[in-house]
Chain A
């Protein structure tokens, strides 16, 4: 086989002939690209890439070179190949971890030569000690190593690398712009809906694109659109092709990385093999068609209804998420976001997926036209992405559940939802949260993120998502949407969310967020304090800690008579002391409402085993109480949880380290059970 390959090479390249490496001068060798291992004048996946990878996997001798030499290879002896590899692979420490390894540097080299770029180039291919995970710099290094002074030619199939493969007589450069149609909301605040007369054509940004051979769907080129939805690529004039744009963004630039994929869940809540949405062109011919192509994802709206395929929906969702991602990463900080999957389908109704929601790196989006479909409701998409951000980059202790304006909520829920509401407006540069629904998507609701007087008689406070959203929006909104002097940079939000909240031995709440924000913008601390006190939070206090110490707002204005069930926000539980009595109520509702959970904090002075004992002391008449608790350190939940079904008591022995802890206590009757009411318990924690 080797002999045949060499013979073929000599036939095709009569001016070249196989030589021993020693017969070539150093100047001749230096004229080739540094990773043109076989010195055939080009760097190719199936020859040089394969040789490099085999070498790193310790293949030697004929096994190393078998079927891996180019037809014009100038060196063909395995000893010469091994010698060249021994010197050249040292240049391939792409991730700069001090070693050249097959599963990192070798894989990235192969991917590069296969045309993969951005996140696809580096994902899961850098070592734990890598100092370089930036796809652009890896690609740049490999481009340099692939360039030669006398023969530049990378057979990578990509257009975004070296500028080689320039158009010549047999090739044509194609300019592609990918667009999607977005239906925008009407501007009427009270009854929003979508305005189909105000459709926009927007770029499909940072999306994966494949150029396919229509005969067999083989991949000709793998690319990614830029911020204008554009790419260019070279194709043989005789090569028919098809463009496929994925509703997927693989982004890796400037130490920011994300992977977002929009899939079709077909109305299923547990999709196991959902397909990725793609936008396909018809078959195109370089020699017949124009070289400037625009590929458009249409909305499917024909004037009175969706009568055609709703091609733009997945791309509208993707673009809202890209807007949010660009917004929060617009600062000098590295971001490496976990992959996010979004499920959308025209079959996603309130009767199957229920609503648009986030859970565990997944967002489900409603798609039921004329009832509730959210692909064009940017507020909804960004709100749910905000939950993803808080989950993956910060800490979200929210218990989830139903929520809305005017509700008196558990403080964790109020913060999570209010912050996400505000983020949706900040990303869009608008002071309204809009959600369309109904016939022709012509109704729904719109809420101001700025106007605190839109509803009369609301109860402000640390338990209100409205209060949280007004404060967060005011802290960051820019003059165009502003009624205040605050306009903090996004870096301050990230510092509060990413650096501060996860480090606190307290639940995620407006109190912890405020502390992080004040630390990030110390010269604005008093302004921030004044603003948050305008929401009846921390009234009269000179400072705010993560536990809301000194808070006096027990939702008195609501007309509900909370007594000792909600204040202090955290009860301090002494260790090895007499039991305390705490109470909970369902006055504002069950499950995720104010008063259902009681918050406590305690400090463990010595690492050892402790017993936590919770005993019911008060309950509605004729009801079986079922108290539960859960304990958290600053970073994690302590296991096992106290969630047995034992009547009137819960007891757990736990191994606890020295440090600060917080816990929540609730009776199951208020948290999913059938008999909501007032429940009290004695609680103590003592060494065993």
Chain B
């Protein structure tokens, strides 16, 4: 069942229980781990889908915000400790003259890749070799496109996958009213 999570995380751990030869075959054809927004489709959100008896999924899609003038698809794959590949694809019915990818750890840009590809009907795609990256690392990308001389961007957090809690817990009073208290600054006027 498709869950309302866009980021589908697939960790493909190689299994050693099926024999060494089989293991080596898999190592060639599959990554060790993969993080992707293949099923995100940009800005689609779905509620919990219902499945008909025949197995069809009846989804009601939410009304999401505009994703802007282009769509972004990405897939991050770890093939070995020193071989990490980022597949990035931008697509639009508008004319993308150039595009670039900023790879960031935290907020610092580590690397910028810039492309001037001929127009393709099904989008512009590149696979970037990133070297050593672990699933526990922090990584974000900002993808820029140039359309009619103007820049537009989409930023995505690739790693870490999990959510870090950054807020204090809620409190409930004796009436059963639960609130999350935010501090207010008091200013007196004399």
Q: Is A644 an interface residue (CB 8 A)?
A: yes
Report yes or no: B154 in contact with A592, Cβ–Cβ below 8 A: no
- Residue of B at shortest CB range from A416? B63
Tell me the complex Cα distance, A407–B71, Å.
10
Alpha-carbon distance A295/B188, docked complex (angstroms): 9
Q: How far is the CB of B114 from chain A (nearest CB, A)?
A: 15
Contacts of A372 in B (CB 8 A): 155
CB neighbors of B among A235-261 (8 A): 243-246
Within 8 A of A (CB), among B115-174: 140, 142, 144, 147-148, 150-157, 161, 163-167, 170-174
Q: How far is it, in angstroms, between the C-alpha of A296 and the C-alpha of B180 when the chains are bound?
A: 16
CA gap between A454 and B148 in the complex, in Å:
8
Inter-subunit contact B154/A275 (CB<8 Å): no
Which residue of the partner chain A has the closest CB to B142? A438
Whether B52 and A645, one on each chain, are in contact in the complex, defined by CB atoms closer than 8 angstroms, is: yes
Cα(A104)–Cα(B182), bound, Å = 36
A353 to B45, CA, bound (A): 8
**What does the 1/0 interface line of A343-377 toward B look like (CB < 8 Å)?**
00111011111111111100010001011101000
Complex interface bits, A273-290 against B, C-beta within 8 A gives 1, otherwise 0: 111111111101000011
Are A356 and B93 CB-contacts (below 8 A) given A282-B186, A311-B182?
Answer: no
Nearest neighbor of A313 in chain B, beta-carbon distance: B182
How many angstroms from the CA of A404 to the CA of B72 in the assembled complex?
12
A447 touches B63 (CB 8 A): no
Contact A354 B61, CB 8 Å, known A294-B186, A296-B184: no
Chain B contacts for A420, CB-based, 8 A: 63
Q: Tell me, rounded to whole Å, the shortest Cβ–Cβ distance linking A574 to chain B.
A: 29
**For B157, what are the chain A residues with a Cβ–Cβ distance below 8 Å?**
349-351, 368, 370-371
**B82, chain A: closest CB distance, angstroms:** 26
Segment at the B interface, from A136-144, A320-328, A380-388, A535-543: A380-388
Residues of chain A lying within 8 A (CB to CB) of residue B61: 399-401, 591-592
A672 in contact with B59 given A294-B187, A354-B45, A368-B157 (CB within 8 Å):
yes
Most buried by A among B7, B44, B140, B174: B44
In angstroms, how far is the closest chain B Cβ from the Cβ of A342? 13
Q: Which residue of A lies closest to B150 (CB)?
A: A190
Interface size class of B (residues with CB under 8 A): 35 or more
* Residue from the list B94, B152, B184 in contact with A311, Cβ < 8 A: B184
Cross-chain contact B187 with A278 (CB below 8 angstroms): no
Min Cβ gap A334→B in Å is 26
State A368–B167 Cα separation when bound (angstroms).
Answer: 12
Task: Judge whether B178 and A404 touch: CB under 8 Å.
Answer: no
Bound-complex Cα distance A417 to B111 (A)? 36
B190 lies within 8 A of chain A by Cβ: yes
Q: CB within 8 A of B94: which of A267, A355, A370, A458?
A: A458
- A417-B66, A456-B95 as given contacts; A355 in contact with B45, CB under 8 Å: yes
A405 to B104: give the CA distance in the assembly, Å: 27
A292 at the B interface (CB under 8 A): yes
Q: Mark A433-448, 1 if CB is under 8 A from B, else 0.
A: 1010111100111010
- Are B5 and A444 in contact, with the CB atoms below 8 A? no
For residue A640, give the distance in angstroms from its CB to the closest CB of chain B.
Answer: 11
Q: Hey, which chain B residues are within 8 Å of A645, CB to CB?
A: 52-56
Is A626 in contact with B156, judged by CB distance below 8 angstroms?
no
Determine whether the beta carbon of B65 is less than 8 Å from that of A357.
yes
Whether the pair B184, A297 counts as a contact (CB closer than 8 A) is: yes
The interface residues of chain B lying within 8 Å CB-to-CB of A626 are 56
Q: Taking the nearest CB of chain A, how far is it from the CB of B136, in angstroms?
A: 15
Assess the A296–B185 pair: CB atoms within 8 A. Answer: yes
> In the complex, what residue of chain B is closest to A645 when comparing beta carbons?
B54
Between B65, B147, B170, B171, the greatest number of chain A beta carbons within 10 A of the residue's beta carbon is seen for B65
Verify A290–B188 contact, CB threshold 8 A. Answer: yes
The reply to whether A356 and B163 contact each other, CB–CB distance below 8 Å, is: no
Please measure, in the bound complex, the distance between the C-alpha atom of A278 and the C-alpha atom of B181, giving whole angstroms.
5
Distance of A673 Cα from B179 Cα, bound (Å) = 43
Find B68's partner among A401, A435, A668 (CB 8 Å cutoff): A435
Q: A residues 77-112 with Cβ under 8 Å of B?
A: none
Question: Could you mark each residue 15-55 of chain B with 1 if its beta carbon is under 8 Å from any beta carbon of chain A, else 0?
Answer: 00000000000000000000001001111110110001111
A321 to B119, CA, bound (A): 41
Chain B residues, Cβ within 8 Å of A292: 188-190
In the bound complex, residues from chain A placing their C-beta under 8 Å from that of B6 are 350-351, 354-355
CB-based contact A380/B65 at 8 Å: yes
* Known pairs A402-B71, A439-B104; A275 contacts B94 (CB<8 A): no
CB-nearest residue of chain A to B173 = A217
Measured CA separation A246–B181 after assembly (Å): 9
Interface residue ranges of A614-642 to B (CB < 8 Å): 626
A4 CB → nearest B CB, Å: 29
Q: Is B62 an interface residue (CB 8 A)?
A: yes
Among A264, A350, A356, which residue has its beta carbon within 8 angstroms of that of B180?
A264
What A residues does B59 contact at CB under 8 A? 672
In Å, the complex CA distance between A616 and B172 comes to: 58
Closest to A191 in B: B151
CB-CB contacts below 8 Å: B85-105 with A: 92-95, 104
Task: Tell me if A359 and B47 are in contact (CB < 8 A).
Answer: yes
CA distance in complex: A281, B44 (Å): 39
A380 to B45, CA, bound (A): 15
B110 contacts the other chain (CB 8 A): no
A558 CB–B CB distance under 8 Å: yes
Bound together, the chains give a CA A665 to CA B60 distance in angstroms of: 16
Chain A CB count within 10 A is highest, among B70, B140, B163, for: B163
List 4 tightest A-B contacts by C-beta distance, closest first: A645-B54, A400-B61, A275-B170, A190-B150
Supply 15 further A-B pairs (C-beta < 8 A) apart from A280-B181, A280-B183, A645-B54: A243-B184, A294-B186, A294-B188, A296-B187, A314-B182, A346-B167, A352-B163, A354-B64, A357-B62, A402-B42, A404-B43, A406-B93, A408-B93, A437-B155, A445-B68
